[in-house]
Amino acid sequence: MKRALRCAVCALLCLIVGCANPQPPPGGPPDTVAPTIIRSDPPNRTTDFHSTSLRVEFSEYIRKEKVRESIFISPPIAFELSWGGTELEIEFTEDLDSNTTYALTIGTEFSDYRGNKPEQAFTLIFATGAVLDSGVVAGRLFDQQPAGAFIFLYPLRELAPDTLNPAHVIPRYRTQVGTNGAFEFQALPAGRYRLFAIRDEFRNLVYDVGQDAFGAANEDIELSEGGRALASLRLRPADDLAAPLLYSARALNQHRIVATFSEGLDSASLRTAAFAVRDSADTNLSLPLRAVYGSPSDSLAVLIETALPLDSARSLQLGALQVNDIAGNRVSDTARTAFFSGSGQPDSSAPQFSSLPLPDSSRKVPVDASFSFRWDRAVDPAGSDGISLHDADGAAIDCRRRWIAPNEFRLLPDQLLQGDAWHTLRIRQAVLRSLSGIAMPDTLVERHFATLDTRDFGSLAGVLYDSAAGPVSYVLTLSSGKSGLRRQLKLDSAGVWEFADLLPGSYRIDVFCDENANGRYDYGEPFPFAPAERFKEFPSEFRVRARWDTQDIVLDMR
């Protein structure tokens, strides 16, 4: 009897613990349904609210650890949380202002026990007086991964617009974007507003330069009483403000040095004049360099080749003098020198391909293709004649030859290739040598490929309208997720456009107004404030059919 009693107590305790720690049942299809809020007390848009707390009920059990940082109340007020099953109580720890409209927003950072996050934020509007402010600012953040980003909204009646800096000023209103990118601010009074999208990494309610992704709206919003304004925003990555650092240098052999940096460098800055190899005992003695290029196997490494052999008995130093990263940050003055020892190992290895332009027997190669070759080390440019392109009859095709870097070469046909035809890339390796004179194996390498059948091409054409057009240009971007195609078209003004020579398939088009004619989209600036350029991403896909010109497509920027 005692043993049976103990078993019964254990079973009861297990049941209690299981109920206290809700988990999804095992088995069955995966749960991919996003959690939602199914009830609130008070109901949305309640007036004459005088309680000290409110409640919301979720559609399922929620992981609680992320909920608090997802709750925003505007105007701000202190609060505490308590849970009862799927119900959350939010208790105010200070008095609400009288005759004020409040907006409680629950963002998108939390998830259910399967990791599903809400598609968009939830907002509960209530007022302590008899009247609700009724203005709305809504829109969408266009980003590949919008979930978790914040929208900051500043009423400019309370601030001097020229001095508003989101790096220091906490927004009066903010909400969080879900997986669909949509956002909405409700119950706003009439007035002028400024809108920013910020990926607030530190959750400190301000924009941290160099840490947070940022985007501005294309203009300040004038909101009438009870009016509704729409806005679209894009996010640019966080600004890179960190200077690259030279971590180390090491001699690979008598002529080759590998230098490692804290980040990838701009290939345009990799020049022999940007580096110096000196004797540590006599820094006035500098070794001449014959090549500098990025490592094909390590994005943080740079390879440097000297014209004279390195002495294994010498202590040397490498100086990175004028290199910069892709963001334009110059190498740090305090971390631009690395010390290393020479090497007695001869530079006796032949070059090897690190990449070839395409696999053998490739098909559907574009007729405007160019062909890039990369080696693991610098190659003598005189050997480029060993690479040639031939048509189906074996005749050589005239090409331009361009060295992109000491170890990278590109072959560019002078004319479009014949469509629906076989071609051959021919590589006579024996004439390709390293700068030390070591030849590749005496082997003929060929890559055969077939071009696209241009008779299947179609086109898309139409008219771009813009009622707010001024003396500005436009950039249209055509993209296909399936093929990876991305093509741009520039227009000097709104009007007729056409994308020709397209393969059959589905395409998307987006347009931005290129205000400064620099050819790229500008996301705006936080301070001094500069608005973003206007853009529109058209939701419909445009279908291209084989040998068919699709015309009269209207792209309206409104």
What does the pLDDT read at residue 7? 52
Same domain (yes/no): 385, 328: no
Determine the average pLDDT of the residues in 239-263: 97
Residue 13 pLDDT > 70: no
Largest alpha-carbon pair distance within the chain?
A: 98
Ramachandran category for residue 519: left, alpha or beta (phi over 0 → left; psi -120 to 50 → alpha): left
Please give the pLDDT value at position 17: 43
The DSSP line for 286-310 is EE-EEEEEE-SS-TTEEEEEESSPP
Are 71 and 218 part of one and the same domain?
yes
Looking at residue 18, its pLDDT comes to 45
Residue 27 scores a pLDDT above 60: no
Read off the pLDDT of each residue in 339-359 and give the average, rounded to a whole number: 95
In this structure, the answer to whether residues 137 and 220 fall within a common structural domain is yes
In a domain, 44, yes or no: yes
Q: Is the pLDDT of residue 31 over 80?
A: no
Domain check: are 219 and 84 in the same one?
yes
pLDDT band, residue 3 (cuts 50/70/90): low
Does residue 367 lie in a domain region?
yes
- Residue 485 pLDDT class (50, 70, 90 cuts): confident
Amino acid present at 290: R
Residue 500 lies inside a defined structural domain of this protein:
yes
Residue 348 counted as domain residue: no
The rounded percent of the chain whose pLDDT value lies above 70 is 95
Segment 416-460, tens digit of pLDDT: 999 999 999 999 999 999 999 999 999 999 999 999 999 999 999
Q: Model pTM?
A: 0.81
Q: Are residues 217 and 288 in the same domain?
A: no
pLDDT surpassing 90 at residue 72: no
Asked which of 341, 365, 397 is the last residue of a domain, the reply is: 341
The DSSP bridge partners found for residue 512 are 475, 535
Kindly list the distances between the CA atom of residue 485 and the CA atoms of 235, 491, 504, in Å, as whole numbers in the listed order.
Answer: 22, 20, 12
Is it the case that residue 11 has pLDDT exceeding 90? no
Residues 228 and 107 both lie in one domain: yes
Please compute Rg for the chain using Cα positions: 32
Q: What is the CATH number of the domain that holds 334?
A: 2.60.40.1220
Q: What is d(CA 337, CA 146) in angstroms, rounded to the nearest whole number?
A: 41
| pLDDT surpasses 70 at 87 | yes
Q: Domain with 445 in it: what CATH number?
A: 2.60.40.3710
Q: Give a yes or no: residue 109 inside a domain.
A: yes
- 183, 42: one domain: yes
Computed over every residue of the chain, the mean pLDDT equals 92
Q: What is the CATH number of the domain that holds 491?
A: 2.60.40.1120
For residues 446 and 461, state if they share a domain.
Answer: no
**Per-residue pLDDT at 555 exceeds 80:** yes
Strand ranges across the sheet with 496-502: 496-502, 458-465, 549-556
pLDDT at residue 76, as a whole number: 87
Predicted pLDDT at 9: 47
- pLDDT at res. 15: 46
Give yes or no: residues 200 and 73 share one domain. yes
**Is 7 part of a structural domain of the chain?**
no
Residue 19: predicted pLDDT? 46
Q: Say how many domains are in the chain.
A: 4
Q: Does residue 119 form part of some domain? A: yes
Mean local confidence (pLDDT), 544-550: 94
Q: 85 is in which domain, residue-wise?
A: 37-234
Average pLDDT over residues 405-426: 97
Among residues 234, 269, 298, which one ends one of the domains?
234
pLDDT given at position 20? 47
pLDDT tens digit sequence for 280-335: 887 778 899 999 999 999 999 999 999 999 988 889 999 999 999 999 999 999 99
Are 107 and 187 within one domain? Answer: yes
Last residue of a domain, one of 234, 260, 280: 234
| 1 is a domain residue | no
Task: Give the pLDDT of residue 507.
Answer: 96
Residues 328 and 419 in one domain: no
What pLDDT is stored for residue 4 in this prediction? 53
Q: Mark whether 77 and 184 lie in a shared domain.
A: yes
